[in-house]
Structure 1
Amino acid sequence: RAQAVVKEVSWLTPEHRTTVDALMAGQFEGLGPRKLAGKVRAHAERLDQHGALERNEIAYSERRVTVRPAAYGMAWVTALVSTQQAVGILATLTRDANSVVNSGETADPTDPTGQPRGHGQIMADLFVQRVNGHAPAAVPAEVQVVMTDEALFADGDTPAWVTGHGPIPAQLAKRWLAMPETDVFLRRVFARPGDHQLVGMESRRRAFPASLRRMVVLRDDTCRTPYCDGRIQDIDHATPYREGGPTSWQNASGLCAACNQIKENTGWTHQATPEHLSVTTPTGHRYSKDTGPVLEGIPPDKQEPPDEEPRPQVRATTDCFAKTTQSTLTLRLAA
């Protein structure tokens, strides 16, 4: 984790590195290296917007595809592309592989015995088919990008955040919006004053509805289990549904597939609120993780101190709109 921090601030001036150190003090609890790096990068990009955009432009100019051999007649194909393109590729392949699995047509066409393929194998086959030009019509994929309204409509300095992947300069996100092949859907997401956490919604159904699933993914960003940086694959009932756990914002956790399966083993318990998750292992050890704001990198002077008296969770009056909301841009990208 120390290496992750150093890597993300190495390009900053000593003064800015000191500022990031102060902002991150006491913020390491429950964070894996990937999530921690994203939080640090968000602060770094806010402090030096011009330098961050310059680094992204240099990196984009170095895009390429490489191949290196692997064991037993296999090889690694690596593509260095923009975050926008990479997220779109992964989202499309995952979505279409899920469709194949759900249809039950998982037989391997290259195997005479028709052995079934796993999810990863199907994704790899779809990738090869589409690169070689033998794929069916591409299915649109969604990429969720969170921005403050100030950064979206004016010259705000808070970096945008690609859900599940981390921060990018706000100016780069605006360039994405200007691409003619991108369909843009703008949704307002109301965050609670002070700590900027999302306000929830609730359903009595066992399956989480699409709108609630989307909000949980925005809130948790990556797997919610302490120190896990896995991609969210399941929206889990922290208190199991079979034990009376409601299908609600308060009882929802975004988990990777492995953590969701481990949680079902004897001796594992999750206690969750929208603000906090506590995991108890079969050995009795307890690990905790606090939920961060919906958008990282907001400078301290822009965060409101908590009031002495409670106030409504959602405010929508004109004078406080900029302080209590973030705008979520859902970019639908052609695969």
Structure 2
Amino acid sequence: MSSTRQLTAAHAADLTAALLDGGLPDDPEALVAFIAELEKLKSAACAVQADAAVAYDGARRSAEAAEGVSARRQGRGVASEIALARRESPHRGQTLLGLAKILHHEMPHTRARLADGTLSEFRAILLVRETACLSAEHRAFVDEELCADPAALEGVGTRRLVATAKKLAYEIDPAAVVRRARRAESERSVTVRPAPDTMSYVTGLLPMAQGVAVHTALCRDADALRAQGDSRSRGQLMADLLVSRITGVELVPDAPTPVPVTINLTMSDATLAGGLAPGLVDAEPIPAEVARHLAAQSLSAELATWFRQLYVDHTGRLVAMTSKQRVFPDGLADFLGARDLGICRTPWCDAPIRHSDHVTRVSDRGATTGDNGQGLCEACNHAKESPGWRQQVVDDLRHTIETVTPSGHRYRSTAPPPVGWREPRWINDRPGVYTLVA
């Protein structure tokens, strides 16, 4: 990006301060105009962020090449650094770095529309995604066709924009689009993630025909049960039928389908006895009454039920475990997963734990202990093995880890507090006298 002066983080900080310190316009029309300009500013900032990401990636690769790092390993960890700087997950960082490179090298018109505010970063990502199956030359054609003229994007909705990109891609290279569809079929999967109010989302990524067939069958059978007098709503019946057919448990009238479960539930003895402190299912807090109901329901149904109780010392810290092994044994790995609530310890990463990792590497005399252990996702574990990454435990009490990236920036991650733990709070009753209230 050409410029008359070199931009720095201080310039961005000054702009942020000016926005936060200034007052809003009084005129309603001026307020709308201000909102519109702020939207353009957000898009322009994303374009400059993309330029900075490409520049940093190039600088890191050049430096690592000079140090003798193999071409295959050069640039490893850059996406994770960008994610940390943008307070995003490593997966999102990889997406943003990929977007930046494509805008810089293959889709300059899309980058220009991002810079002038005609496109948002989200819409730019969609255009990049829909042209991913094309060659660089064909992608450049779609880029010019759609984004060379900023006026052509005025009033165009996201759905229409994506549909036009898909149509152009198919017209240019139908074989590539077909190959992409076949490859997508190989990525079919089922995932689960928490939802509000102790619910969960179970998502099946299926080919179109199979997805429609599943939904149609559930709709048909739910409507049949309602016609027979079942009082549940259509959505409730579809959900209960789905659980029943997948687990093999018989559908019960007017209630969620019971299932054989293992409750990986961490709750204090006070909660189990009738207190109000919440329980935890992995990282999700659930009300004490709901936790007790889960336990009672599984036991009364004579289902397989396990309870895991973690105890803390007088400071509220989980009791650590030690080992002389190079690899974390199952028990210690379970401890790390429970302490970190099943979520990767990298800041802003919400991925599930896949690896038990040494904070200080074994090659640097790091011990295989709870204090020197952390749960990481696969991407973050690989990223921290790149040249220039360092980690250390800076607070044993709350298990706070400091990560230093190759650029010298520092980020801290503190283990979540165990169930029932509270930060100590003191009230100054009178001069020199303090009372502990929590």
**TM-score tier after normalising by the smaller chain length:** 0.3 to 0.5
Higher strand share: 1
Considering only CA atoms, is the larger Rg found in Structure 1 or Structure 2?
2
TM-score by length of 1: 0.48
* More RCO (CA 8 Å, sep 6+): 1
